[in-house]
């Protein structure tokens, strides 16, 4: 009988577990130390922290996970050991005491071992102690994750270093997504973890179960503004180490598609300058430009017009003229996007019917811009704009690099690079 099948030494309704939970919730380190180091009957005791088996009580309300028609019989049962608790809490002295009494460093009745817990909490000293007592650095959890897969925070860098020093595999795929540790680092913008894994031989273009490389994963993960700089550093590192800028996932989406889907101009610029294809189409027929236009109204604070500029200045084809009213409808609340896109055409026939797709409150909020747009309904574009388009056509996908070399004032260079002015002329 496996350790997870036997009856727990301390069931969830026991007096010991009630005291243990009280100590955990109250962050009472002294009481917790006494309980797990002195009060348990043996060092590898199985402790049941939770058990919501509704089948044992027919009158109990069904949990949300029990869907009508599916009738899943799964329930949450949380088993652990004193060593796992000590490692999860970062109590190094307790871990040392329990290991000294012969605790099994790889016991995992709840699906995760003590080493998993130490890495998840970023407790380097605990991880090193466990490894010194021959904990398996590649032990898989019930979810198929090795300890390296649980090094998910900046604080866990020391744990990752210790694991690699003790022979952990940097290539190991884990979990349902078959992510490598490098994918995990990319998902969370852990640039120092990524540097460490690459130094230990991680394959920069290894694919996970969705066909994504680490670069693709990093570009596709939604980021808080304070994480953007780290994400940019990580992607620059991957590209320097040879990551393919155009690697496609199972949906034929490139890293550029994903960066544009989150309207990240700095990341789009980095990818484009490493050869990413601005013309690429995914399985749905969407280009990177289409992706940022789909996002624009949802993320105006990301200044999506900057991403549109980057794409157009690197040779991205613009929107088919007949589809422009659809773009106007979806992006009306971000007129800078409309301006940049409109100025990429030498001449685009403006229709009075376009007013119908712009909500009245949006029109009034951006009245100056939309009045300038509809003023062009019966007027050709000015000669200066036509010259701009001729120069841009000549430079093609090298606009971003050639325009700054022209002996022109900065204001004119910005004009050639489609810098929005707030009105159309």
Residues 6+ away with beta carbon under 8 Å from 139: 106, 108, 113, 115, 116, 146, 147
Q: What pLDDT score was predicted for residue 61?
A: 52
| Short-list 230, 217, 318, CA closest to 266 | 230
pTM of the entire structure? 0.88
Q: How far apart are CA 154 and CA 28, in angstroms?
A: 26
pLDDT tens-digit profile, the chain (425 residues) = 344 456 788 888 888 889 888 888 888 888 888 888 888 888 899 988 887 654 444 444 544 444 444 444 445 678 899 999 999 999 999 999 999 999 999 999 989 999 999 999 999 999 999 999 999 999 999 999 999 999 999 999 999 999 999 999 999 999 999 999 999 999 999 999 999 999 999 999 999 999 999 999 999 986 777 788 899 999 999 999 999 999 999 999 999 999 999 989 999 999 999 999 999 999 999 999 999 999 998 887 889 999 999 999 999 999 999 999 999 999 999 999 999 999 999 999 999 999 999 999 999 999 999 999 999 998 899 999 999 999 999 999 999 999 999 999 999 999 999 999 999 98
41: CB partners within 8 A, 6+ apart: 9
């Amino acid at each position: 009988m496996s350790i997870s099948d036997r009856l727990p030494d301390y069931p969830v309704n026991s007096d010991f577990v009630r005291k243990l939970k009280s100590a955990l919730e109250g962050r009472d380190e002294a009481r917790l130390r006494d309980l797990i180091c002195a009060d348990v009957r043996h060092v590898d005791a199985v402790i049941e922290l939770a058990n919501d088996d509704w089948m044992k009580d027919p009158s109990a309300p069904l949990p949300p996970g029990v869907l009508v028609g599916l009738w899943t019989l799964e329930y949450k049962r949380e088993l652990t050991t004193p060593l796992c608790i000590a490692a999860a809490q970062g109590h190094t002295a307790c871990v040392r005491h329990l290991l000294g009494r012969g605790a099994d460093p790889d016991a995992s009745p709840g699906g995760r071992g003590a080493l998993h817990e130490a890495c998840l909490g970023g407790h380097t000293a605990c991880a090193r102690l466990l490894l010194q007592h021959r904990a398996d650095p590649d032990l898989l959890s019930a979810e198929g994750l090795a300890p390296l897969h649980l090094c998910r925070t900046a604080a866990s860098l020391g744990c990752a270093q210790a694991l690699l020093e003790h022979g952990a595999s940097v290539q190991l795929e884990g979990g349902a997504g078959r992510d490598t540790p490098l994918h995990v680092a990319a998902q969370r913008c852990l640039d120092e973890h990524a540097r460490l894994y690459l130094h230990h031989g991680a394959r920069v273009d290894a694919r996970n179960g969705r066909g994504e490389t680490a670069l693709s994963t990093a570009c596709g993960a939604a980021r808080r503004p304070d994480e953007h700089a780290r994400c940019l550093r990580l992607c620059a590192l991957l590209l320097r180490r040879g990551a393919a800028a155009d690697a496609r996932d199972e949906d034929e989406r490139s890293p550029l598609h994903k960066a544009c889907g989150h309207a990240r101009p700095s990341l789009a610029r980095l990818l484009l300058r490493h050869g990413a294809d601005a013309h690429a189409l995914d399985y749905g027929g969407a280009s990177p430009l289409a992706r940022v236009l789909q996002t624009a109204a949802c993320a105006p604070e990301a200044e999506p017009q900057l991403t549109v500029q980057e794409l157009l200045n690197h040779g991205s084809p613009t929107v088919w003229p007949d589809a422009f009213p659809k773009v106007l409808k979806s992006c009306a609340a971000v007129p800078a996007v409309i301006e940049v896109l409109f100025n990429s055409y030498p001449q685009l026939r403006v229709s009075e019917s376009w007013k119908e797709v712009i909500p009245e409150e949006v029109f009034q909020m951006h009245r100056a811009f939309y009045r300038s747009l509809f003023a062009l309904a019966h007027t050709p574009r000015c000669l200066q704009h036509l010259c701009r388009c001729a120069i841009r056509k000549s430079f093609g996908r090298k606009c971003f690099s050639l325009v700054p070399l022209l002996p022109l004032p900065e204001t004119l260079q910005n004009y050639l690079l489609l810098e929005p002015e707030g009105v159309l002329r």
